[in-house]
């Protein structure tokens, strides 16, 4: 019986550790040839250690799969091109791009440096654009030459961007932009038979333990629970599905995923509206009652505290 991704070629950025590693391993287990990209930086984006990508490549080879390492940085436009062309040159094509690479530099706005802001935006948002751009250029050229294209892009957003989270104005802004980028890119690439979706994963990784010590104790509690709902392995199955031909027609969507739970997310939409009976513009003095009435009657917003409570409840049930 053919595997789900038999004959496919995948690129996973930031695949040396955590969620990216699990994505690369499960993609390979399901038959894909994988480019394991990771320069081996710290959670803050410092240093370099090529062995983290090499070790995942060796794991894939030991299970009988095919993989090659790449150590380029996604925030470099030319580096991202090399990542994509590693797949094309080594395996002849690219079918799947998983934009997973990320770092954290959490600080309150008054403590955040320009570099802290720029680096997070560069790695997450620009990195997602860079890799997607080069893959989409190649897919478009293939389509122009009359070749069959069936591309898949899976981006990585976060509840920090979809819902907001204190101390993460840089990270949350990048992740919110990635969600918007996903929706727009899905529309742009539909004519070329390329689907674009995003996941908002919750899992125990360096970015949620080493970089955010306040979460470490909570995540440790879950690790020792009967069901490890925060194991990064739980993220990969959705990515494999979205990367497969079975997901045809599903595009421009954002999914939160953690443990045994998947949510379909819906972005900004109007939840209340007031219109003046007269055809005239609003007066600032009358707007206080109007705005407060809309807020009073609007459905409550989701927040990260509620989501984490639901995750903990599932782990302990």
By C-alpha distance, which of 99, 118, 101 is closest to 170? Answer: 118
d(CA 192, CA 259): 33
The H helix count followed by the E strand count for the chain is 11, 8
Q: Which two tokens stand for residue 259?
A: 């443990």
Q: Which residues of 130-144 are buried (b: 16+ CB within 10 A; e: fewer)?
A: bbbebbbebbbebbe
List 173, 175, 234, 244, catalytic entry: 175
Q: Which two tokens stand for residue 277?
A: 């009976």
Q: Tell me which residue has tokens 């790695």.
A: 123
- Tell me whether residue 171 is one of the annotated catalytic residues: yes
**Which strand (E) or helix (H) includes residue 238?**
helix 236-243
Q: Are 29 and 239 in contact (CB under 8 A)?
A: no
What single DSSP character describes residue 301? P
**Beta-bridge mates of residue 153:** 97, 196
d(CA 123, CA 14): 10
List 8, 81, 132, 158, catalytic entry: 158
List 171, 173, 234, 244, catalytic entry: 171
Q: Which two tokens stand for residue 288?
A: 């206080």
d(CA 254, CA 98): 14
- Distances in Å between the Cα of 254 and the Cα atoms of 7, 89, 216, 241 are 26, 31, 26, 14
- Active site members: 158, 171, 175
């Amino acid at each position: 019986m053919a595997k789900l991704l038999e004959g496919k070629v995948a690129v996973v950025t930031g695949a040396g550790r955590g969620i990216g590693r699990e994505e690369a391993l499960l993609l390979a287990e399901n038959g894909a040839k994988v480019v394991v990209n990771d320069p081996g930086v710290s959670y803050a984006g410092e240093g370099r250690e090529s062995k983290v990508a090499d070790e995942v490549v060796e794991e894939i080879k030991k299970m009988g799969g095919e993989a090659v390492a790449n150590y380029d940085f996604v925030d470099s436009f030319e580096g991202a091109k090399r990542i994509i062309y590693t797949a094309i040159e080594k395996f002849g094509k690219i079918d799947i791009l998983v934009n997973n690479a990320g770092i954290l530099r959490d600080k309150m706005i008054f403590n955040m440096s320009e570099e802290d802001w720029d680096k997070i935006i560069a790695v997450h948002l620009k990195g997602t654009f860079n890799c997607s751009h080069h893959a989409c250029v190649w897919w478009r050229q293939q389509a122009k030459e009359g070749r069959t294209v069936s591309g898949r892009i899976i981006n990585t957003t976060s509840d920090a961007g979809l819902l907001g989270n204190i101390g993460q104005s840089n990270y949350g802004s990048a992740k919110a932009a990635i969600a918007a980028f996903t929706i727009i890119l899905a529309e742009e690439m539909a004519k070329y038979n390329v689907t674009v979706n995003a996941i908002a994963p919750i899992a125990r990784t360096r970015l949620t333990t080493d970089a955010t010590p306040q979460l470490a104790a909570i995540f440790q509690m879950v690790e020792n629970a009967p069901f490890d709902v925060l194991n990064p392995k739980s993220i990969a199955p959705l990515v494999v599905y979205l990367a497969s031909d079975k997901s045809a027609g599903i595009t421009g969507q954002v999914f939160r995923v953690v443990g045994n739970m998947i949510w379909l997310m819906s972005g900004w939409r109007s939840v209340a509206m007031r219109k003046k009976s007269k055809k005239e513009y609003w007066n600032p003095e009358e707007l206080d009652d109007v705005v407060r009435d809309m807020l009073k009657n609007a459905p409550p917003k989701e927040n990260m505290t509620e989501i984490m409570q639901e995750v903990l409840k599932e782990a302990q049930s």
